[in-house]
Amino acid sequence: MDINEKRITENFISLVKIDSLSLEERDVAEYITEILKSMGCTVQFDDAGEKVGGNTGNLIARLEGSLDVSPMLLCGHMDTVEPGKGVKPVLENGVIKSDGTTILGADDKSAIAIIIETLRVLKENDIQHGPLEIIFTICEEIGLLGAKNINTDLFESDFGYILDTKDTKGIVVKAPSANNIEITVHGKSAHAGGAPENGINAIYVAGLALSKLTLGRIDEETTCNIGVIEGGLATNIVPDKVVLKGEARAHDDKKLNEVTESITKVFEEVAKELRESYDNGLPYVDINVIQDFPRTDVPHDHFAVLTAQKAASNLGYELKPAVVGGGSDSNIFFNNGISTTVLGTGMTDAHSVDESIKVSDMTDSVKLLLEIIKIHSKG
């Protein structure tokens, strides 16, 4: 069967022209809703938007099937990152990019275009299939907030596929857990020129602790980073507070706990050592550790993995299991008992003004989804 290349191109271009920064996905959600309803899908929204302060919830749709098999989930996210307003897509030689002033939004509107085209081909060719549940989440880019607040009572699938990575020849089966770490260092303010000896420089304390850390790649499955430092009011004031924000990631939860503890312990020990020089209880640190997302670890012999690999084989190529260092909605679904793997759409240079995607990669992704659906429909 033929994929309508012109149609998927035009739909993708229409999607990226609709502004949908995180927390502002309503317009694109309404656009998608009309398309899905025209194909016979039922569409509803949960209350995730209300929970996170957005203008819409997660879009949860269902296309009933003609075969008695378990429902399968297809998922992507609707939000995009800055600079993502006023996208002007440019099509040249089968490649779509922005005009260079904004991102393109292939992350993750390519997933939306691919899933919609897949449903259209199913309907047009009267292909027999089981029930399909389609979820387009909000606020993925700002902490997977849509997935974290999704109402799982509104769908039934216990396995499926999330389209949210570049590699069209890989299937992500393993992704790390992550902790967010916020450390506030408290010192004492003083006039930096008149009486600096009366102050305790919080930035100095933080710097001393940072010099003792091992950051970056710890081993092949563990990383950590301090990415934000905020503090100080003026050059003539000894700063009394500085806030550092970082993260730790690992595929092994024991290692995650170890690297998180190693970071926090250094700050606590540095503050304690310096505090012995003063009699006012300063400096000290407040530390807050919050799990950002849990790990994903779908077995290589899981039905979802084997089905996708068989589908790729039927199409003449190998789909290789992949291990990644980033998180996605899949981490949250997996933790909720829904075995989701991540498939690629061909998006390139995501989160940059150089972002692009080949139309051929999107059509190839449609072919893969159609083949997966056919295999699943046989039970």
The CATH number for 256's domain is 3.30.70.360
pTM: 0.93
**What pLDDT is stored for residue 1 in this prediction?**
65
Residue 29 in this model has a pLDDT that exceeds 80:
yes
Per-residue pLDDT at 21 exceeds 70? yes
Give start and end residues of each alpha helix (H) in 53-194.
106-124, 145-148
Task: Count Cβ neighbours within 10 Å for each residue of 139-160 and write b for 16 or more, e otherwise.
Answer: bbbebbbbbbbbeeebbebbbb
Burial of 57 by CB count in 10 Å (0-12 exposed, 13-18 middle, 19+ buried)?
buried
Sign of the alpha-carbon torsion through 105, 109, 114, 117: negative
| Residues 170 and 318 placed together within one structural domain of the fold | yes
Predicted pLDDT of residue 280: 86
Mean pLDDT of the chain: 97
State mean pLDDT over 172-199. Answer: 97
Q: Is the pLDDT of residue 279 over 90?
A: no
Average pLDDT over residues 19-24: 98
Pick the last residue of a domain from 250, 275, 293: 293
Q: Report whether pLDDT(89) > 70.
A: yes
Q: Is 161 in the same domain as 16?
A: yes
- Same-domain check for residues 146 and 183: no
Is the domain of 276 the same as that of 306? Answer: no
CATH number at residue 337: 3.40.630.10
Does 36 lie in the same domain as 142?
yes
For residue 234, give both structure tokens: 């003026």
Q: In whole angstroms, what is the distance from residue 194 CA to residue 269 CA?
A: 30
147 and 200 co-located in one domain:
no
Contact 154, 62 (CB under 8 A): no
In which domain, by residue range, is 18 found?
5-175+295-377
315 and 261 assigned to the same domain: no
Query: Quick count: other Cβ atoms within 10 Å of Cβ 86?
Result: 11
Q: How many domains does the chain have?
A: 2
Average pLDDT over every residue of 317-340: 96
Query: Which are the catalytic amino acids?
Result: 79, 140
Beta strands in the chain (DSSP E): 42-45, 59-63, 72-77, 90-92, 95-97, 132-137, 159-165, 170-175, 177-186, 190-191, 216-219, 222-231, 237-238, 241-250, 284-293, 296-297, 320-323, 339-344, 356-358
Q: pLDDT tens digits for 98-114? A: 999 999 999 999 999 99
Which residue, of 243, 262, 293, is where some domain finishes? 293
Question: Does residue 12 share a domain with residue 126?
Answer: yes
Q: Are residues 61 and 75 in the same domain?
A: yes
Q: What is the DSSP letter of 128?
A: -
Per the CB < 8 A criterion, the answer to whether 371 and 315 are in contact is yes
* Average pLDDT score over residue span 257-270: 98
Mean pLDDT of 242-266: 98
Q: 266, 293, 320: which is the final residue of a domain? A: 293
Asked whether residue 107 falls in the same domain as residue 118, the answer is: yes
Indicate whether 53 and 196 sit together in one domain. Answer: no
Per-residue confidence (pLDDT) for residue 378, from 0 to 100 = 86
Are both 12 and 145 inside the same structural domain? yes
- Supply the pLDDT for residue 2: 79
**How far lies 208's CA from each of 123, 173, 186, 269, in Å?**
63, 39, 14, 11
